Structure 1
Amino acid sequence: MIKTIEFYWDLGSTNSYFALHLIKPVAEKHGANVVPHPYNLGYVFRKQSYVLMEEPKVKLRARKVDLMRWAKRYDLPFSMPTKFPMKTSPALRGALAMRRFGREWEFMEHIFAAYWERNDASVGEIAGLKPIASGLGVDQDQFERLVESDEIRDELVSETDRALERGVFGAPTFFVGDEMFWGKDRMEFIDDELTSPSAPRVRRSQTSTTV
């Protein structure tokens, strides 16, 4: 039986950039499939009344230093983009559109590299996403129609709502079965779970009491 790792991500999440790369060797080690789920982190932040850039400046500076340590540790060409944060819903919908053509993961790799490696914020807009779709063999006009369609918009809402129902509160978040792992620094735990799965959880509604 092929193992599955579910991956909730958002393009605007620094840690999702690292997770995109770090989950690969874990999946390869176990012959597991990584199933991506675009997750509208901006919507969730607004829902939770959380504003990232209003955190204490000393914390924001420390986070940036820490991110550069991660980039050095794993030899990744990460850099903070000039435009941050930015709206990511077009890119999230773009990934769902590319799912129709079996090119979702490649599309994700391209947009993450553009934004977090080349300081290219054009991937926050459809105009900047269309050339990427074309480079992956998808007609630009067809791609744009899908991205702007009610079908794809509703699917992104459903993906995000389903994530919230499962207890996802940030990105990146991974699931192996019912076990949830939050953050780019949970790869060892995911590895452990794939090696020795936790016992299935019993839903409260399925339990019975003997009187």
Structure 2
Amino acid sequence: MSKQVEFYFDFGSPYSYLAYKELPRVAQRTGAQIVWRPILLGGVFKATGNHSPAEIPAKGRWSKTDTARWSRRYGANLQQNPHFPVNTLALMRAAVGFQLQDEAAFHRYAETIFAAMWEQQRNLNDPAEIGAALTAAGFDARQVLAMIDDPAVKDALKQATEAAVARGVFGAPSFFVGDELFWGNDRLLFVEEALAA
């Protein structure tokens, strides 16, 4: 059985974006497979009593500097989104919906949304902006909206988020190598060590 790293993420987390950029290189160096686990970070926060760094003014200011440092380290193009925080419920439902239907489309969707949020600074609180980003990437925005309203997709995201909390996830990004939990893109060093062991 090949080595795996499970990646729990939410598009609204800048640190999830940074991990999204760096984790494939970790997987390549270690010969590991990434298992993509979209979750609703707001649901995780509610269940665990955790809070976004943006809710703590000093930590929010520091995080802007910190994410810029990590962006340079990874060669990423993170731009602070002036519309942050974004309600990602619809975005994460679509991620789960694509994952249930078409793995290739899921990866194209993830790239589109991460880029729209953290490179293009689009206002993804606005359904019209989401639709424009999807259309520009070749998606049928109406089909995506219909998928978001599918009860099975809604339930799948809820179950995925509850399962993450049950495993001990309290924030994003989170990673599992076997049963060992790692939290934060800055723990990718330890993720890589665990995969290489």
Tell me the TM-score normalised to structure 2 length. Answer: 0.89
CA contact (8 A) 1:40 1:88 kept: yes
Match of 1:152 in 2: 153
CA contact (8 A) 2:40 2:88 kept: yes
1:107 aligns with 2:109: yes
2: CA distance, partners of 1:136 / 1:63: 30
CA contact (8 A) 2:177 2:195 kept: yes
Match of 2:96 in 1: 96
2: CA distance, partners of 1:188 / 1:182: 11
Match of 1:179 in 2: 180
AA of the residue aligned to 2:122: D
Q: How does 1:2-81 map to 2 (within 5 A)?
A: 2-47=2-47, 48=49, 50=51, 52-55=53-56, 57-81=57-81
1: CA distance, partners of 2:14 / 2:6: 18
Equivalent position SS for 1:118 = coil
1:164-191 alpha-carbon deviations (Å, 9 max, x no partner): 0000000000011111111101122111
CA contact (8 A) 1:176 1:190 kept: yes
Q: Compared with structure 1, are the counterparts of its residues 38 and 29 closer, same or farther at alpha carbon in structure 2 (3 Å cutoff)?
A: same
Which one has a larger percent helix, Structure 1 or Structure 2? 2
Name the structure, 1 or 2, with higher relative contact order (CA <8 Å, separation 6+). Answer: 2
Of structures 1 and 2, the larger Rg is shown by 1
Q: Percent identity?
A: 36
AA of the residue aligned to 1:18: L
Equivalent position SS for 1:36 = strand
2: CA distance, partners of 1:84 / 1:183: 19
CA RMSD in angstroms, aligned pairs only: 2.0
Equivalent position SS for 1:12 = coil
Q: How does 1:156-171 map to 2 (within 5 A)?
A: 156-171=157-172
Shift of residue 137, structure 1, vs aligned partner: 5.7
CA contact (8 A) 2:16 2:172 kept: yes
CA contact (8 A) 2:10 2:16 kept: yes
Gaps of 5+ in 2: none
Give the number of aligned pairs. Answer: 194
